[in-house]
A and B are shown apart, each in its own frame.
With several copies, the nearest count.
Chain A
Amino acid sequence: MFDKVLIANRGEIAVRIIRACRELGLQTVAVFSEADRNALHVRLADEAYLIGPSPSRESYLQMERILDVARKTKASAIHPGYGFLAERSDFAQACEDSGITFIGPRPSAISAMGDKATARATVIAAGVPVVPGTEDVGNLTNEKLLAAARKIGFPLLIKATAGGGGKGMREVRNIDEMPHLLESARSEALAAFGNGDVYLEKLVEGARHIEFQIMADMEGNTVHLGERECSLQRRHQKLLEEAPSPFIDDDEEFRQRMGEVAVKAAKAVNYLNAGTIEFLVDKDKNFYFLEMNTRLQVEHPITEEVTGIDIVTEQLRIARGRQLSVRQEDVKMQGWAIECRINAEDAHNNFLPSTGYISHHVLPTGPGVRVDTGVFGGFQITPYYDSLVSKLVVKGESRAQAILRMRRALEEYRIVGVKTNIPFHQSILEQARFIAGKFDTRFVEERFSLEEAEGGKETHPEIAAIFATLVAHEQAERSAHIISRGKRDTSNWKWVSRWERMNR
């Protein structure tokens, strides 16, 4: 049984895992790229080793180098976090071959769920519903597609086999318009990807993205920890998640029915450790298996908050050969949790990633507020990794309290130096449709405009004018005495601290 864990990741999730290890008395080994020497995970771990230059393919994706560190430090377990090597069955296999415990599922389960066609076939065989379609045969003729369309039913989607980003995608309402739409989809796909193959998928209207957290131990005990509502997405990136789902809410029978199907899907690949089954759910409560994420999920904290179960601790226990600490009937969701992903993205400029030096960082605190982050005042956001700065999680007695609490926490949160999507979250939390729980996966992209939302909000330009004038005035007064006017290109932080020292 291991007592030293290598964390093959960075950022907030590496910090999260180190904390869990520390709370269990396990030793920790961090790995880091050149960009991350100062990072929190390096400083919180018991040991830390450089594994390469900043780009992740030269560091965090270097399996052999990471395994070398594990061998050198006698770390007999590796937690992959999410992203990077987390869903690479070859890495899980390489760990196993080196006698190192991979804290996650078996390589076979990662493979089976990693390939869309195999995953679909496997869960269908286990009796799990999937979105009807022809996706696993991508090169059908128009005749065959038209025949298949009648079986699938309308409305449906034509999708480019090589595709992505909506190119070559068409919504089809009935059979009559289909030949025409097939042609235009094919030609757009050909232009975009050099490949005109298309497939069909039933259009799930007003679909929600709802996922179930799974935990399974080595004896095959498998439970679900309830659902997470993840429909608020932009370009397939989740932005705000909540547990429970306002759509399921107190329909406990529906929750258990979906949960049982999720457990069935996990068991179909002999699943071990933590994983997530994603479903599409339509307005009539039909639900379809979408995929399984065979790893710890970014949004796992909201499930922890409402169930009281520490998922990372549970992962470590399971990997050490222990039984699940709960049976299905012990799992209860209490209260309501919301997570906002705070990204270094300019909400007012097309969500363009923002890099730079975080000169100032004040976290919201107080009742019901949790922050999982790897950054701090003084941290440099580089372009090498994803833009997640922190996960702001709140818990309330009710959904209403959680929403109000999240608004309060977002107001208190102060990051200076990079732009963030906090204004986006603030606006979403004030939308009537969000508050009513009436939204689907298209809501952010089709029905929400940050500019419109902000247009309706109270603003204080007059107050801002006073702030700007007072600061500019003091600055001018000072520069007249002390600094030549041209020197204003110092960073804000230095400038303020200079002022502060003068005025103390």
Chain B
Amino acid sequence: MMSKYITTIGEKQYTVELIDATHVSVNDKIYEIDFVVVSGQPVFSLLLNGASFQAEVYPGEEDDLMQVLMRGRLYEALVEDEREKRLSSAAGAAAQSGEFVLRAPMPGLVVKVPVEEGAQVQKGDVLLILESMKMQNELKSPREGKVTRVQVKAGDSVEQRQVMLSVE
């Protein structure tokens, strides 16, 4: 059985075809592979035309991206078969904007909220300072927008993943 996937990492797309148990092609170039999961470890080993690679590979927590941790570097890959790819292309960039929700990345104490509801923020502006693990951590806006809701204040304790504020 041959399976064909379109795998996207960053801005690059790779057409990966699984030809048989020991061959794949990537963008039509054929490689000999030997791919195994290392027993007892969440580690995969790949010999690709003899070159040895190992990686941890696991599904992401909240999205469909595969996380590939290889040689100290994390790659996030979207793997789609041809049907899924057509669907997602149709959906298009419509979902690109929308609300950004700042959740607490870990339990902690809100030290300061330097923005107010309605404030205009730029990418990189500090939205909130959270104290955790004996450190003050600045949480920044990933993009330009307007602060819509602020749901915590300085002095509040927050649980992990608690919604703190939103930017639209």
| Interface of A toward B, CB cutoff 8 Å | 30, 37-38, 42-50, 73, 344, 348, 350, 352-355, 357-360, 362, 376-380, 383-387, 410-411, 414, 416, 422-423, 426, 454, 457, 459-473, 475, 488, 492-493, 495-497, 499-500, 503-504
Contacts of B70 in A (CB 8 A): 460, 463-464, 467
Contacts of A497 in B (CB 8 A): 42
The bracket for how many chain B residues form the interface is 35 or more
Q: Answer yes or no: B92 CB below 8 A from chain A CBs.
A: no
| Complex-state Cα separation, A477 to B124, whole angstroms | 42
Known: A73-B50, A352-B105, A414-B56. 7 other contacts (CB 8 A): A50-B34, A355-B106, A379-B39, A380-B39, A464-B55, A465-B7, A469-B77
Contacts of A467 in B (CB 8 A): 44, 46, 53, 55, 57, 66, 68, 70, 77
Contacts of B50 in A (CB 8 A): 47-49, 73
| Complex-state Cα separation, A362 to B38, whole angstroms | 13
Contacts of A358 in B (CB 8 A): 40
Neighbour of B40 across the interface among A353, A379, A385, CB < 8 A: A379
Shortest beta-carbon distance, B8 to chain A, in Å? 8
Can you name 27 A-B pairs with beta carbons within 8 Å? A42-B52, A43-B43, A48-B52, A350-B138, A350-B140, A352-B137, A355-B160, A359-B42, A360-B42, A378-B41, A386-B135, A387-B134, A387-B135, A459-B73, A461-B12, A464-B9, A464-B70, A465-B7, A465-B12, A467-B46, A467-B77, A468-B7, A469-B14, A470-B18, A473-B79, A496-B42, A499-B37
Shortest beta-carbon distance, B150 to chain A, in Å? 20
Contact A386 B52, CB 8 Å, known A378-B41, A467-B46:
no
Shortest beta-carbon distance, B129 to chain A, in Å? 11
Neighbour of B51 across the interface among A47, A473, A504, CB < 8 A: A47
Q: Is B41 in contact with A466, judged by CB distance below 8 angstroms?
A: no
Contacts of A37 in B (CB 8 A): 34, 36, 45
Contacts of B59 in A (CB 8 A): 475, 488, 492, 495
Contact A471 B66, CB 8 Å, known A360-B42, A465-B16:
yes
Q: Is B18 in contact with A473, judged by CB distance below 8 angstroms?
A: yes
Q: Is B40 in contact with A500, judged by CB distance below 8 angstroms?
A: yes
Q: Answer yes or no: B132 CB below 8 A from chain A CBs.
A: yes
Q: Is B16 in contact with A378, judged by CB distance below 8 angstroms?
A: no
1/0 per residue, CB under 8 A from A, across B11-23: the answer is 0101010100000
| Complex-state Cα separation, A495 to B56, whole angstroms | 12
**What residue in chain A is nearest B47 (Cβ atoms)?**
A48
Q: Is B77 in contact with A38, judged by CB distance below 8 angstroms?
A: no
Q: Answer yes or no: B94 CB below 8 A from chain A CBs.
A: no
Q: Is A350 in contact with B18, judged by CB distance below 8 angstroms?
A: no
Q: Answer yes or no: B133 CB below 8 A from chain A CBs.
A: yes
Q: Is B41 in contact with A376, judged by CB distance below 8 angstroms?
A: yes
| Complex-state Cα separation, A473 to B140, whole angstroms | 36
Q: Answer yes or no: B26 CB below 8 A from chain A CBs.
A: yes
Shortest beta-carbon distance, A456 to chain B, in Å? 13
**What residue in chain A is nearest B138 (Cβ atoms)?**
A350
| Complex-state Cα separation, A89 to B79, whole angstroms | 52
Shortest beta-carbon distance, A138 to chain B, in Å? 23
**What residue in chain B is nearest A384 (Cβ atoms)?**
B133
Neighbour of B5 across the interface among A48, A383, A460, A472, CB < 8 A: A472
Q: Is A386 in contact with B38, judged by CB distance below 8 angstroms?
A: no
Shortest beta-carbon distance, B105 to chain A, in Å? 6
Q: Is A468 in contact with B79, judged by CB distance below 8 angstroms?
A: yes
Neighbour of A465 across the interface among B34, B77, B133, B135, CB < 8 A: B77
**What residue in chain B is nearest A356 (Cβ atoms)?**
B106
Contacts of B14 in A (CB 8 A): 461-462, 465-466, 469
| Complex-state Cα separation, A272 to B118, whole angstroms | 58
Neighbour of A360 across the interface among B24, B41, B74, CB < 8 A: B41
**What residue in chain A is nearest B105 (Cβ atoms)?**
A352
Contacts of A454 in B (CB 8 A): 73
| Complex-state Cα separation, A450 to B131, whole angstroms | 23
| Complex-state Cα separation, A44 to B47, whole angstroms | 11
Shortest beta-carbon distance, B13 to chain A, in Å? 9
1/0 per residue, CB under 8 A from A, across B70-108: the answer is 111111010100000000000000000000000001111
Contacts of B115 in A (CB 8 A): none
| Complex-state Cα separation, A503 to B73, whole angstroms | 27
Contacts of B18 in A (CB 8 A): 469-470, 473
Contact A43 B45, CB 8 Å, known A353-B133, A385-B133:
yes
| Complex-state Cα separation, A384 to B39, whole angstroms | 19
Q: Is B38 in contact with A466, judged by CB distance below 8 angstroms?
A: no
| Complex-state Cα separation, A488 to B74, whole angstroms | 20
**What residue in chain A is nearest B16 (Cβ atoms)?**
A469
Q: Is B37 in contact with A46, judged by CB distance below 8 angstroms?
A: no
Contact A376 B40, CB 8 Å, known A423-B72, A467-B46, A468-B68:
yes
Q: Is A30 in contact with B7, judged by CB distance below 8 angstroms?
A: no
Q: Which of B14, B35, B37, B134 has the most CB of A within 10 A?
A: B37
Shortest beta-carbon distance, A273 to chain B, in Å? 25
1/0 per residue, CB under 8 A from A, across B21-35: the answer is 000101000010111
Shortest beta-carbon distance, A457 to chain B, in Å? 8
Q: Is A466 in contact with B133, judged by CB distance below 8 angstroms?
A: no
Q: Is B72 in contact with A383, judged by CB distance below 8 angstroms?
A: no
Contacts of A410 in B (CB 8 A): 72
Shortest beta-carbon distance, A239 to chain B, in Å? 13
Neighbour of A426 across the interface among B26, B72, B108, CB < 8 A: B72
B residues 134-168 in Cβ contact with A at 8 Å: 134-135, 137-140, 160
Shortest beta-carbon distance, B50 to chain A, in Å? 5
Q: Answer yes or no: B3 CB below 8 A from chain A CBs.
A: yes
| Complex-state Cα separation, A472 to B107, whole angstroms | 32
| Complex-state Cα separation, A478 to B14, whole angstroms | 23
